[in-house]
Amino acid sequence: MPSYIVTCKEDATDDQIKAAKQDAIDKGGKIGHEYSLIKGFQVTFPEDTVQTYEKHEHVKDIEADGEVKTQ
């Protein structure tokens, strides 16, 4: 299953972030890492599920998770 980084809106409350995570779980996602520096979390979704989740009211951005390298 593909993995994504979900960033919630800056003004999202803890309860709204919790609701966004629960919605991801309800759509078949599995929460991985939860971030403290940003309002967000990592989630794996079955193929093609992420398009429906992008419209969640508390989600600002979703991007594919991947390895980051520096030179």
| Enclosing domain of residue 15 | 3-64
Question: Is residue 13 situated within a structural domain?
Answer: yes
| Count of structural domains, the chain | 1
Which domain CATH number covers 23? 3.30.70.80
Compute the Cα dihedral for 35, 39, 45, 47 and give only its sign: negative
CA neighbours closer than 13 Å in the CB half-sphere of residue 29: 28
Look at residue 52 in the predicted model and tell me its pLDDT: 67
Question: Is residue 70 situated within a structural domain?
Answer: no
Look at residue 70 in the predicted model and tell me its pLDDT: 81
Look at residue 51 in the predicted model and tell me its pLDDT: 67
CA dihedral 8, 58, 33, 15 (to 10 degrees): 110
Look at residue 27 in the predicted model and tell me its pLDDT: 86
Look at residue 19 in the predicted model and tell me its pLDDT: 94
Residue pLDDT, tens place only, 7-49: 999 999 999 999 999 999 998 899 999 998 899 999 998 776 6
Alpha-carbon distance of 70 to 54, in angstroms, equals: 29
